[in-house]
Structure 1
Amino acid sequence: MERDADVIVVGGGNAGFSAAHAAAERGRSVIVLERGEGQTAGGNSYFTAGATRIAHQGLEELAEFVEPDERHAVSTVPPYSSEEYLADLERVTEGRNDPDLSRVLVAEAQPTLRWLAGLGLRYRLMYERQAYDRPDGTYLFWGGLHVGNVDGGKGLIADHTAVARRLGEDVRYDHRATELIVEDGRVVGVVAEHDGRRVALRAESVVLAAGGFEADPEMRAEHLGERWAAAKVRGTAFNVGDMIRAGLAIGADRGGDWSTCHSVQWDAFHEHNEGNLDLTNRLTRQSYPLGILVNTDGERFLDEGADFRNYTYAKYGKVILEQPGSLAFQVFDAVTRPMLRAEEYEMPGVSEVVADSLEELAAALGIPATRFVGTVADFNAAIGDAGFDPTVKDGKKASTTPPKSNWASPIAQAPFYAYPVTCGITFSFGGLRGSTEGQVLDGEGSPIPGLLVAGEMLGGLFSGNYPGGSGLAAGSVFGRRAGLIA
C-alpha cells in the first residue's frame, strides 16, 4: 500500500510538534493529527504557562536565546547545574524516576530549547512567576525554573504552528486517532475519526504524543482512586487515553507510575474552572507558601513552606482532594497579600473572600470560627525569629503541627483574604514504556517496529510529584528524539 506520509505524529502539542519539526528537518514528509481545532487545538500545551526547566550557567548564557529585556541589566539569575536538575528529579519523585530517561532530559533540555528557538519559538525570563523585585529595584530569580515561552502556552502553540507551516508539515485538525494499524509485527499507520467517518492513514513511522488519560473520569477512578473522578480537569478535554489504550492493545508495555498524577491547587468556585481557554493557567493558586492553608474544619493540614512552590505544587492538589469536601482555603493578611502573583490572584472572576476580622472571614467561608481563630493563633505564636525572605529557603519556621518550614509570616493584620481551592488535575504520570530514543517497548523490553512515543504518553520520568517546568522540557527533548529516528 502506498504511504500517506513518511511519518504520522498523533497529537499537535509541544511534544508532537517537536517530533514533527525534527522529522521534517530531515526531509521526511509529516502528517500531524490533532483532535482539536481552532482554539481547542494544542492539547495541554495550550493551557500551560510555558515554563520550561533547563540546566544553565546563569543570565549570560540564557541571554543568548531568550528575548531581550531591559530588566536583564538589574537581574540575578543563579546558575542551575545538571547535577542540581538530576537531584531535583530524584528528590521530588523519591527516587522513582527512570534514571536513563532522566539523564537524557537533563543533558538535552537546554540544547533542545536552543534548537526550538532557532526554528522560531520565542523564550523569555519569567519575571512575574519566578523572580521577586527587591527594594533596590533589582530582581532575583529562584527555584531553578527561569525560562518560559513568550505569551505562555498560547504563544508556544502559535509559534509551533508557524514553524510547522514553514517546514511543510501537514497538520490535520479535528482528527481523533483511535487505533494503530499493524502488519507483520510493524506499526504502519493510524485509524482516526474525522467528520463522522473513519480515516486510515499509512506511514513508515508513527509517533504517539497524544497526552495522558487525565480527562477520562473512569480511567482516573480506576487507576488513581475513586475520589479522582471528581477532580477538575485543568487542560484539554481530549486527553482520554485513546492512544494509550491503542498502544496497549498491540502489545506495548505500561510505563511509569499509573497510580499518581500532576495535580494542583485550583480555583474552587470560578464559574468556568475546567478547560478554560481564555484564562488557561491563571486559575491556579500558587502563592500558598506565603500564607497558610486550612480545610473546612478550620485546621491546617500540610507544610506550606516545605520547599519552593516549584517542587511542591504538583503534589498538593492530591492533598486538597483528600480534605473534607475536596476543598481548602489559602489565607493571607494585608502584609502578604501584595506579594501574591497578580496574574492568578487578580484575574477576572477570581474566587476571593475578604474580611476585617478572622471571625468574619470564618463566617464568610462557612467554617468553625473558634477552631479557625485558634489555628491562626497557634500558628502565629509558633513563628521563629529568623528573617523573612521569599527568594531563599529562609528557615523562618512555625514550630507547630504541621510545621511550616519556611516563610512563616503572621496572619495578623487586617484585612484578611481567603481563596477557595480544590484539586485541578494536569496530567497522568502513567503511560507507555519507551526507550531513551523514543521507541515504544513491549513487555519483553523490545522496540515495537514503527512506533515511537513522547510527551505525557511517555511514562517513567515522574512519580507522585515533579519539578515545575520539567514536563514541557521532557516533551521537547523526547519529541525531538523521536523525530530524529522516525
Structure 2
Amino acid sequence: MTEVLTTDVVVVGGGNAGFTAVHAAAERGRSVVLLEAGAADMAGGNSFYTAGATRITHDGLEDLRAWLEPDERWDSTIVPPYSADEYRADLEKVTEGRNDPELTEVLVSEAADALKWLHSKGLKYRLMYERQAYSRADGSYLFWGGLHVGNVGGGEGLIADHTRVALDAGVDIRYAHRATELIVEDGRVVGVRAEHGSERVEVRAESVVLTAGGFESSASMREEHLGAGWENAKVRGTPYNQGDMIRAGLEIGAARGGDWNSCHSVQWDAFTAQNESNRELTNRLTRQSYPLGIIVNREGERFLDEGADFRNYTYAKYGREILRQPGSVAYQIFDAELRPQLRTEEYDMPGISVEVADTIEELAVKIGIDPAALSTTVRNFNDSIDRGKPFDPTVKDGRRAAVEPPKSNWAAAIETSPFYAFGVTCGITFTFGGLKSDTSGRVLDEQGNAIPGLLVAGEMLGGLFSNNYPGGSGLAAGCVFGRRAGSIA
C-alpha cells in the first residue's frame, strides 16, 4: 500500500539548499514537505560535513558587524573588503572561464543578502578565525583569500539552525524517505515517489524542488563520468548522494548542466580507520595547511605547486592530483618551525595519520619512501628558496622555491627537527555536473524550455563550477538558488 501526501511544495534533500528553499516557500505561506534520505541521526546532506564557510561580498568588518556573532578579537582584526568584481574574477579564474555567466552574476550579487535573510530567520554566523586568518607578530589578525564568514557550529550548527527554523514554520520533515522518481502528468511534474523502508510514499505537490546533491557517493557513476580511479576516492560527506534524482530528472527530459567530468575533491586523511562519512570528525579529516609545507608522493617526489595561490583557490582540485599518484597516496611534510602554524582542528584531531622523526631519512623509512629520494627532494627544495623575501602566510609573499615544480609562495625550508609526515589521499566532496536550469532554478529540457513544476538548487544545479571552485561558493550557491527556487515554488 502506498501512502499519499498532498502539499503545495515538496523539497527533496535536507541540506543547506533544500532548507533554504523550504524557508523561502514557507515564508510565502506555502505548505511544505521535506523529504530527507537520511534518518534523523544521518540527515543534513553534505552540508552537515562542512566547516560552514560561505563566500559573500562585503565592505569589510564594519559592514559585517551588525549581523555576525560578536568576538572580542574584532578590535585587533583586519577583514579586507571583498567586492563583486573580485568574486566574479575568482570564479572565472578557478573554473578557467567555464562558469555560466548568468548564474555567476546572480550568485555574486545575492549571496550576502541571502545570508542576512537567513540570519534574520535565526541562523548564526561568525568570522572564521581558525580557518581564514593568521595571527601576526603584533597580535593582530589578518583575514585572507576572500572567504571570511561561516556558520556558528560549522555544518552541524548550520543544519541544527535550519531544522529549528523549518519546524517552527510548520514544515513537515520526513526523514529516511529516499526519493526515487518524479511523477509527471500532462507534461507537468506533479510530485515525487519515495521509499520509506519497505513502505512506498507518494507526495503530490504543485512544485517539486530538487536539492538532493550530486552523484559523488556512487562509485560506479564516479568511474563512468570522472574516469578510471575515481571509484577509489573517499566520500567526505553523505553516503546518500547516489545520483538518484539526477537520473530521475534526465528520465523525464531534463537537460544536463555543467561539467560532468570534474568535481570538488581535497586532500583527506589517508589512513584513519573511519575516513568516509564520519559524523563525528566531519571536516576535520581534511588537511588544508599544505601551502606551508611540501607534498611528496610515494617515490619521494613533489608533483604540484603547493603555494600557487591561497588554499581557497587550490584545495578543491588538489585531491584529484593525489588520486593520480602511485597508490593514490601522498604525504604533507613539515618541520618543527612550521608545525605550530598548522590548523589545530585538522592536524590535532584524534587518530590522525602522522609520522614523526628526528631526521628526514628516518621519516622516509617510517612512511615507506626511499630515504635517499626524500632527502634529495628536501635538500633541493631548501637550496632553491629565495631567502631574501620574508615568509608571510597572510599574503602571497612571492617567497619562491625554484625547483620543478616550483613553489610560488610561502617556501619555508624543511630543516628543523623533528619532521612530520601526514598521509593524505583524495576525498571527494561533490560533483560539478547536474541538471540545467534558468537563474531562478526552473529545470530546462534539451530545447531550453522550462519543465513545469520542477525546480533545482544546490549541488544538483550544474553550471557554476568546473575543474575547481573558490572555497565557500558552494554553500553560498545553495543559499542563493535555494532561496530563488523556494520563492517561486
- TM exceeding 0.5: yes
SS at match of 2:409: coil
* Structure 2 portions without partners, runs of 5+: none
Q: 1:402 aligns with which of 402, 405, 410?
A: 405
Q: 1:175-224: per-residue Cα shift (whole Å, max 9, x none)?
A: 00000000000000000001312111100000000000000000000000
1:3 positional shift: 6.7
SS at match of 2:137: coil
1:369 positional shift: 0.7
1:164 matched to 2:166? The reply is yes
1:39 positional shift: 2.2
Amino acid at match of 2:310: F
Aligned residue for 1:4?
6
Amino acid at match of 1:320: I
Q: 1:423 aligns with which of 421, 426, 435?
A: 426
Aligned residue for 1:276?
278
How many aligned positions are there? 485
Q: 1:61-108: per-residue Cα shift (whole Å, max 9, x none)?
A: 111111011111110000000000000000000000000000000000
Amino acid at match of 2:389: A
* Structure 1 portions without partners, runs of 5+: none
Q: 1:130 aligns with which of 129, 132, 136?
A: 132
Contact 1:3 1:204 in 2 (8 A): no
Q: 1:244 aligns with which of 231, 243, 246?
A: 246
Q: 1:97-155: per-residue Cα shift (whole Å, max 9, x none)?
A: 00000000000000000000000000000000000111211111000000000000000
Aligned residue for 1:321?
323
1:230 matched to 2:235? The reply is no
Q: 2:293 aligns with which of 280, 283, 291?
A: 291
Q: 1:275-306: per-residue Cα shift (whole Å, max 9, x none)?
A: 00000000000000000000000000000000
Provide runs of 4+ in structure 1 moved above 3 Å.
Answer: none
Shift in CA distance, 274/3, structure 1 to aligned 2, threshold 3 Å: closer
Q: Distance in 1 between matches of 2:66 and 2:105?
A: 24
SS at match of 1:222: helix
Contact 1:235 1:276 in 2 (8 A): yes
Aligned residue for 1:49?
51
Amino acid at match of 2:287: R
SS at match of 2:73: helix
Contact 1:123 1:150 in 2 (8 A): yes
Q: 1:220-250: per-residue Cα shift (whole Å, max 9, x none)?
A: 0000012000100000000000000000000
Percentage identity across paired residues of the two chains: 70
1:343 positional shift: 0.2
Aligned residue for 2:222?
220
Q: 1:21-60: per-residue Cα shift (whole Å, max 9, x none)?
A: 0000000000000011222100000000000000100001
Aligned residue for 1:393?
396
Contact 2:40 2:176 in 1 (8 A): no
Aligned residue for 2:469?
466
Amino acid at match of 1:460: G
Shift in CA distance, 265/242, structure 1 to aligned 2, threshold 3 Å: same
Aligned residue for 1:347?
349
Amino acid at match of 1:309: R
Contact 2:21 2:487 in 1 (8 A): yes
Q: Distance in 1 between matches of 2:253 and 2:50?
A: 32
Contact 1:434 1:453 in 2 (8 A): yes
Amino acid at match of 1:213: F
- Structural RMSD (CA): 0.7
Contact 1:24 1:30 in 2 (8 A): yes
Q: Distance in 1 between matches of 2:331 and 2:300?
A: 9
Q: Distance in 2 between matches of 1:63 and 1:178?
A: 44
Aligned residue for 2:455?
452
SS at match of 1:181: strand
1:274 positional shift: 0.3
SS at match of 1:200: strand
SS at match of 1:480: helix
Aligned residue for 1:485?
488
Q: Distance in 2 between matches of 1:241 and 1:477?
A: 22
Q: 2:39 aligns with which of 37, 40, 58?
A: 37
Amino acid at match of 1:470: S
TM-score normalised to structure 2 length: 0.99
Q: 1:184 aligns with which of 183, 186, 190?
A: 186
SS at match of 2:284: helix
Amino acid at match of 1:30: V
SS at match of 1:374: helix
Aligned residue for 1:359?
361
1:203 matched to 2:205? The reply is yes
Q: Distance in 1 between matches of 2:197 and 2:273?
A: 31
